[in-house]
Structures are given as structure tokens and as C-alpha cells.
Amino acid sequence: MEPSAPTSGGPPREDDVRTLLARLGAAMIATGQPVHEIEEELVEVGQHLGHPDVQVGAGPTGIMVAPAEGSTATFESVRVSLRLDQSADVRRIRHQLVHDELTPAEAFAQLGTLRHRPPRYPAWIATPAYLVVTVGIALILQPGWANVALAGACGAVVLVLLQLSRRSRLLATLLPTVAAFVVALIVFGSADAGLIEGPLRTVLPPLAVLLPGALIVTGMSELAAGQMQAGSARLIYGTVQLGLFALGLIAALSLLTLPSQMMVNERVDDIGWWAAPLGLLLIGVGIALMESVPLRMTPWVLLVLVGAFGAQTFGQVLGPAGLGGFLGAIAASLGASLVELRRSTLARLVLFLPAFWLLVPGSLGLVGVTQLVVDPGEALDAGLGVVAVICAIALGLLVGSSIGHSLRSRLRRG
């Protein structure tokens, strides 16, 4: 049954607060925000609405809210994710609630229409943006002319599979395996024919947006924050998805009967220094078009992207990949928080997620899981490397978020 809307006059009733917080919390979960942050921010909203003892229990797929200890609770499930422009509106609604710029009834009404809002950009612009992101990631991961061209072609194949998966539940379930299998067949077949070098890194760009890297690192950060149920659930689900991708890769290799030398993590670089800046620009613009990010936010998205990439590159020069991931995550999280402090209407999560996808922890995990099967002798080193990078990124996320939270608290007290 559809929950009733809060009344528009007078102070909000307990039922109104319960219903509003449940809907707001479900929307925040759909943005991909870690559950410990959701619970903390919902408690702040509840306190502002006159309920200092509000009880919140958030998970990856739903939320339970009670206005006070021992009072009646309500549950709202989360079925689909939100685009970045919708995530920005969720953040705006919460901000305006806390600052009395929206009444509870107005906030409830806006949250109700949020999911049905059409994309900002037409399909003929937003859909090909996936190819723009694929080419951008290829320019950073494997900047070779032939590799970038082939990655773009494979991105078009994955895009077709994505469109078909929206009409078939079976294909939607098997999409990680099918996409990895088809892309691996094309890329490794081309490498076997002598058309490209470094096929493993060329496989990753068309699949990077589909990989569960953000999911796994978010789960790690939730575990570190004490959210055992949500964190372990995300980790298990992300690991299964990663295994499905690796299954597709391994099936393609078995069908082609290629030597294990094809799985060497080799980087080709014949484009030059400008490949990385161009790749960052394409990633930022492509994600903005895919996710309907307003044009006024795109320069800020690019700013956080550049900061995260610069910190990650600096860390990799100083030490191992884990240090680069740690510094990149701090730069992405803290940079997004600083921008939000400067301009409160810009949602930190919207600025942060594109930079988070750039860290590509899922790609490193895919390499490690595949090497585990193809080259068992290197399995331990590959597995430890993956765990180290994921833990480093999760720790960097926590450090950056903690510094940003401390800055916000000091500004509020001031």
C-alpha cells in the first residue's frame, strides 16, 4: 500500500516523520551511499523535525525507520538505482529539509516523483556516451591506437547487450558472463591474429562500468564502519559478480585455446602524454551524459576526477598500486566534500562517484581472479594484490570522508 503523504500544516506528526524518513532513506540507498552515512544523516533530519530518538536500520536493499525507541516502525524496499541527477536531487531535498527550505509535505511529494523523472538528455546523446567513457578509460589503461579503437568497438557490442538485457531477464542475470565472453573472444582473437598487444588491459575498458569495483569498496568501508550486515552482503554480491565476469573470460580463453602468456598484465603506450588528459575529459563528459548530470556540475565532476587521478598517479610513482589507490580515494572523497562545502547545492556523492569509478578496483579484481585460474602459480600474489588495493581504497574513502565530516562540523559550530 502506498504510504500517505505528510500533512502540510502545523508540526509534523509521528506518522508523517516515519513515512518521510523511510522514503528519504530508500532514495539515499538507491544513490549508492554507504549505509552508515545514511543512518547518521537521517537521524539528523529526524532530530530537526522534533524526534531526537529516531531509530534507523539501513541495508543495501531496504530501510526500517521508527520515530522513537519502542514506537511503530515502517519498512521501505529499494528496487532500482538512481541516476546521478536524481541522486543530486535527493541530496538537495535532505539539505533543504534540514535548513527549513522545504516542508515535510513538499519533500515527500518531490521524492515521490523523483523516480519517474525522464533523463535530462535525449537517448541519441546519452546512449552513445557509454562508448565515450569506454574510449576514455582505454586511453588511461591501455593507450595504444589499435587498443583504443578495438576497445571502442567492443564497447559498442556491450552497449547492444545492455539494451537487450532490459528486455530479457535471463540475459540481465547472465550479462557479466556474456559480456566478458563476447569481449574476450574479440580482443584475444585479435591478439592471436597479431592485431594488438596487451589484450588483458584492452578487455577491461568495455567492461569497466559494469564491474562491481565501487560495490566491493563500499562494502569494505561499511565493514570498517561497523556495518557488518550491509558490508558483508555487498562484498559477497560483488565477489559473485566478479566471478561471473572471470568465468566469461576463462570460457573465451578455453574456446580459443590460447596460451596463458596472453594473460600477462602488459601496458602498451604509443599515443603519448596527452592520452591521460584526454581520457579524463572523455570519462567526465561521458558519465555526465549517461547519468544526466546538469551541465553546471560537469566542471566540478572533472575537477574531482583530475584530483583523484593526480593523487593516484603520484602514489603509484612513490610506491605500490595500493598507495595510489589510497591517495586517490582520499583525494576523490575529500575533494567532493570540499566542493560541497563551498557550494552546498552540489551533491558530494555525484561529484565523488565518477572519480571512484576511475580508480577501477573491479578491474584489478578481474585480473586477479582470472590469473587465479589461468596461472595458479601467481594466484597468491595476484590475490593479495587485489585485497591490498581494495583495502587501501576503502581506507582512503574513510579517511577522506572523516576529514570532510570534521570540516562540516567545525563550520556548523562556527
**Predicted pLDDT of residue 33:** 87
**Predicted pLDDT of residue 409:** 73
Q: Which regions of 181-298 does DSSP assign to beta strands (E)?
A: none
DSSP 3: P
**Predicted pLDDT of residue 1:** 44
**Predicted pLDDT of residue 279:** 92
**Predicted pLDDT of residue 190:** 92
pLDDT in tens, 136-153: 999 988 888 999 999 999
Q: How far apart are CA 404 and CA 400, in angstroms?
A: 6
Q: How far apart are CA 240 and CA 261, in angstroms?
A: 26
End-to-end CA gap in the chain:
44
> Any alpha helices (H) in 295-378, and if so which ranges?
298-318, 321-342, 348-358, 361-374
DSSP 66: E
pLDDT in tens, 21-70: 999 999 999 988 889 889 999 999 999 888 888 999 999 999 999 988 87
Structural domain boundaries in the chain: 14-114, 123-413
Q: How far apart are CA 102 and CA 112, in angstroms?
A: 14
Q: How far apart are CA 1 and CA 134, in angstroms?
A: 42
pTM of the model: 0.86
Q: How many residues does the chain have?
A: 414
Please report, rounded to a whole number, the percentage of residues in the chain having pLDDT higher than 70: 88
Beta bridge mates, 74: 65
pLDDT block averages, 10 residues each, the chain of length 414: 53 82 93 89 90 90 89 88 90 89 90 88 89 92 90 94 90 91 93 86 86 79 85 88 84 79 76 89 91 86 90 83 83 86 75 76 54 57 69 81 79 66
Helix 14-30, helix 84-98: angle, nearest 10: 150
**Predicted pLDDT of residue 384:** 67
**CA-closest candidate to residue 338, choices 407, 263, 412, 411:** 407
